[in-house]
A and B are shown apart, each in its own frame.
Chain A
Amino acid sequence: MFFPVNQMKSSKLQPATRRRWRGSAPRLTPYLFLLPVLVLFAGFKVYPYLYAAWLSLTKIIKGQTTFVGLGNYARLATDPIFYKALSNTLIILITQVPLMLGLALVLAVAFNSMLLKFRSFWRTAYFVPIVMGLVAYGILFSTLLNNHYGLVNFLLESVGLPRVPWLADPLWAKVSIIIALTWHYTGNSAVIYLAQLQSIPGELYEAAEIDGATTWQRFWHITLPGLRPAITLTVVLSTIGTLQLFDEPYVLTNGGPNNATLTIGMYLYQNGFKYFDFGYASAIGYVLTGIIGMIALIQFRFLREKQA
């Protein structure tokens, strides 16, 4: 690049750094753009996480916050209600997540198929439940599934099936929560899969067809491998979301009957804000963090190995 003559002259008069300065930002600029985030993080994220770690080592004894070491964690290790909450959460996790993601996969393939008519209409219909807030759909489902007067039981009876104690029976209460979760989130996962499906090049399918591959073979060898990143993502995220499950049981079953739908998230809330045992609630939070970290790590490793 050539400098115009007058600039060449002035560059002799000005220090060299001044000229370089015009092409790049002052050093402080990125920090200024980050400043609000840094302040908010420090106050509302980093400090609370560290404070919770300290709280988890304390107990309120005679009105005084007292250091008790790993006492809360020791108590947690022998707390039958915590194990109940943990097993409830895991049962919902291992049934609901595969069910939902399987359905979402089928839906995404259908939405992407030329065989389906009015595709964009159906896509909207399946996706729209995601806009409904958790409380709203909790209330809605609790009226639909009402044991005595609910619409679902009426419909079951009218086709000659027995009534189901949806929210009153320990097993069916879990089923109800699984149905509600699946209704709410399946369309969301389907849209993620659909976006990935559309990025798989059509030539792959054409080439496979010329080579005589069946529909099933094409699905198994082209579609599934192509979807692997989206599958990894949705498995890990749905797992993390389900491990933190709180709103649905809170609104639908309040953790009952007989703690059958008590989740770790609900147990944390109960200890913190019903019994005001902040130390114990914080210990539950950190154990939950550990469980989430462990499971997410295992899933990432497992799904990545398969990818190769």
Chain B
Amino acid sequence: MRIDRSPEARSASLAVTVVIAIGAVLMLAPFYWLIVASTHRTRDIFSNPPNLVPGDQLWVNLTNLFVGEGFGQAVLNSTLVATLYALLGGLVCTAAGYAFAKFRFPGQGVLFGIVLVILALPSQVTLVPLFQIMVQLNWLNTYQALILPNLALPFGIFLMRQTMQSVPDELIQAARVDGAGEFRIFAQIVLPTMRPALAALGIFLFLAQWNDFVYPLIVLRTSDAYTVPVALASLQGLSDTDYGQLLAGTLVSVLPVLGLFLFLQRHFVAGILAGAVKQ
């Protein structure tokens, strides 16, 4: 595309940039406010006029949160669950995507149809039955209750099937002729070519689990099993909420995924684009 250097084009360019910049300030303002609020005491957060620069109470708020409320357990739970979920879910979805993309077998159409139907159904329908299953298995307050039900994520299977189709059949065929076993072909030949898609899927799964709320709220009944969002919501529900502490906790919940996002933005966006299939 050619670049127009006329005065009109320049003023148009300035106007567009200014409008977009104002919008960006509005988008980022809540993040700035989060930093400000998490560094003040409750009464200073809601003072009039409000504080617009960070204060010096962050350490106090964090101490209250981690020592007083045992928030560290929630961070540990979330980290473990989200990491395990991303790894196992990535593997399970990739294996299924491989089967759908690179094999022809009886029942394939029906099985893939089931994946698509489950993708479209609202998951809220399963809340009550899943709760009862977890009660019967005595799995309330456990990691497996959080990890297993959504491990076979229809979106993930769909995504990996699409991506797997780009793996050349000749590559797999050649390995078979060389006598490699089926699982070795998958692990040593197919998976390495799938790295970018695996990264995108892994980030998507991690983020989904890290931020998930309704389902964990239902199967986690004791505070030592809480994940970060459930712990935050329980702090907010108190009658005399300590907002400095609550917002410091919110900051703690945002920082890991924000870091992940800024370092791996490319994969992140790839995941969202592919993730356009789900919302």
CB distance from B264 to the nearest CB of A (A): 11
Q: Look across to chain A and name the residue whose beta carbon is closest to the beta carbon of B2.
A: A114
Interchain CB contact under 8 A, A23 and B16 = no
Say what secondary structure dominates the interface of chain A.
helix
One of A67-75, A82-90, A139-147, A167-175 contacting the partner: A139-147
Distance to closest chain A CB from B82 (angstroms):
11
Q: Which residues in A have their C-beta under 8 angstroms from that of B211?
A: 132-136
Residues of A within 8 A of B243 (CB): 143
Residue of B nearest to A206 (CB): B1
Minimum Cβ distance to chain B for residue A252 (Å): 10
A240 within 8 Å of B by Cβ? yes
User: Do residues B103 and A131 form an inter-chain contact, with CB atoms below 8 A?
Assistant: no
Q: Are A33 and B96 in contact (CB under 8 A)?
A: yes
Q: Is residue B92 within 8 Å, beta carbon to beta carbon, of the partner chain?
A: yes
Instruction: Return the chain A residue nearest B210 by Cβ.
Output: A133
B162 in contact (CB, < 8 A): no
Residues on A with C-beta less than 8 A from B157 are 37
Distance A41 CA – B253 CA, assembled complex (angstroms): 30
Tell whether B232 is near chain A: CB-to-CB under 8 Å: yes
Known A-B contacts A135-B213, A140-B250; A128 and B261 likewise in contact (beta carbons under 8 Å): yes
- The smallest beta-carbon distance between A24 and chain B, in angstroms, is 7
Q: How far is the CA of A134 from the CA of B214 in the complex (A)?
A: 10
Name A272's contact: one of B128, B176, B278 (CB within 8 Å).
B128
A282 to B: closest C-beta gap in Å: 6
CA distance in complex: A32, B96 (Å): 9
Contacts of A49 in B (CB 8 A): 121, 125-126, 129
In contact, A296 and B120 (Cβ under 8 angstroms): yes
Task: Say whether, besides A134-B211, A134-B229, A115 and B13 are in contact (CB < 8 Å).
Answer: yes
The answer on a CB contact under 8 Å between B214 and A269 is yes
Let me know if B13 and A187 touch, CB within 8 A.
Answer: no
- Report chain B residues within 8 Å CB of A151: 33, 50
Residues in B whose Cβ lies below 8 Å from that of A191 = 269, 272-273
In the complex, A150→B24 CA distance in Å?
Answer: 21
**Interfacial residues of chain B within 168-215, with CB under 8 A of chain A in the complex:** 173, 176-177, 179, 182, 186, 207, 210-211, 213-214
Range for the number of chain A residues in contact with chain B: 35 or more
- Contact status of A139 and B129, CB under 8 A, knowing A30-B105, A191-B272, A247-B214: no
Given the contacts A25-B182, A114-B3, A149-B48, A130 and B33 also touching, CB distance less than 8 Å: no
A142–B235 CA distance with the chains assembled, in angstroms: 14
B233 — nearest CB in chain A belongs to which residue?
A135
In the complex, the chain B residue whose C-beta lies closest to that of A134 is B213
With a CB–CB cut-off of 8 A, which chain A residues contact B4?
114
Q: Does any Cβ of B come within 8 Å of A34's Cβ?
A: yes
Contacts of B279 in A (CB 8 A): 237-238, 240-241
Instruction: Report yes or no: B250 in contact with A115, Cβ–Cβ below 8 A.
Output: no
At the interface, yes or no: A256 with Cβ under 8 Å from chain B? Answer: no
Q: Which residues of A contact B80 (CB under 8 A)?
A: none
Q: For residue A281, which residue of chain B has the nearest CB? A: B128
What are the residues of chain B within 8 A of A293 when measuring CB–CB? 120
Q: Is the CB of B46 within 8 A of A55?
A: no
How far is B258's CA from A202's CA once the two chains are assembled, in angstroms?
A: 34
Let me know if A52 and B254 touch, CB within 8 A: no
> Is A143 a contact of B182 with CB atoms below 8 Å?
no
Contact: A41 with B114, CB < 8 Å? yes
List residues of chain B with CB within 8 A of the CB of A18. none
Interchain CB contact under 8 A, A133 and B253: yes
Q: Is A161 an interface residue (CB 8 A)?
A: no
A141 & B49 in contact (Cβ 8 Å cutoff): no
11 chain-A/chain-B pairs, Cβ below 8 angstroms: A33-B186, A40-B149, A126-B27, A131-B260, A132-B211, A133-B213, A133-B257, A135-B230, A149-B45, A149-B50, A183-B30
B residues contacting A by CB (< 8 A) are: 1, 3-4, 9, 12-13, 16-17, 19-21, 23-24, 26-28, 30-31, 33-34, 37, 45-50, 92-93, 95-96, 98-100, 103, 105, 108, 111, 114, 118, 120-133, 148-152, 157, 173, 176-177, 179, 182, 186, 207, 210-211, 213-214, 218, 228-230, 232-233, 236, 243, 246-247, 250, 253-254, 257-258, 260-262, 265, 269, 272-273, 276-279
Seed contacts A45-B118, A128-B28, A139-B247; 6 additional CB < 8 Å A-B pairs: A23-B177, A27-B105, A47-B133, A126-B23, A131-B207, A247-B213
* Interface set of A (CB-CB < 8 Å, partner B): 22-27, 29-34, 36-38, 40-41, 43-49, 51-52, 55, 107, 110, 113-118, 122, 124-137, 139-144, 146, 148-151, 154, 158, 183, 187-188, 191-192, 195, 202, 230, 233-234, 237-238, 240-241, 243-244, 246-247, 250-251, 265, 268-269, 272-273, 278, 281-282, 285-286, 288-289, 292-293, 296
